[in-house]
Amino acid sequence: MSAFQDMGSLLLVRGADELEHAGGSLYVHLHRVAKRLTTLGASDTLVLAGLAHAAYGTDGFPTHLFDWQNERPVLEAVIGTEAEQIVYRYGACDRETTWRDLAEHRTVTDRFTGTSEELSTADLRDFVDLTIVNELDVLDHAPDLAPKLHQFLQEQLPRWQSLASPAVLTEANRVVQL
């Protein structure tokens, strides 16, 4: 089996298919995000991270499938060190202190530990691409959140245009109609 298939199976074992999320279950959402990243030319590592991006919960989705303090090695064994690091960073991100001025400070604040990490250009691109693609999926599948998310993306995309990959930025601008 591939890492992608192994991660999909592990998500089922952990109950991702039983958790409600925009447009169905968390399991379905995670697969849609991974598929969209694939379509937009993301690396295999980022696609795997997209499939697992809510493993530790997120600032916007507190339910977790894995305990970030004790089970990071479990996830790392399935998707690899680099993809797990993206998943951790995404799940641990304190959105309030990170998102708005990310292009200026290039720093992600960890909501679990209270620490901050300045990202390299490549890590920043992966983080922003995953964030945008996740938000686009929620926008597409959660009509009740659409007005708020649409406004957020209209405000945030211009700030992140230097950070996102061209394909993700083009897709986001198309969806949000910037």
What is the average pLDDT across 10-23?
94
Alpha helices in 14-54 (DSSP H): 26-39, 44-52
Instruction: With a cut of 90, say whether residue 178 has pLDDT above it.
Output: no
Encoded tokens for 62: 């507190």
User: What are the distances in angstroms from CA 50 to CA 54, 101, 105, 154?
Assistant: 8, 23, 24, 22
Q: Is the pTM of this model over 0.95?
A: yes
Alpha helices in the chain (DSSP H): 3-13, 26-39, 44-52, 72-79, 81-92, 95-98, 102-105, 121-141, 146-160, 166-176
Domains of the chain with bracketed CATH = 3-176 (1.10.3210)
Question: What is the percentage of the chain residues whose pLDDT exceeds 70?
Answer: 99
pLDDT in tens, 57-95: 999 898 999 999 999 999 999 999 999 999 999 999 999
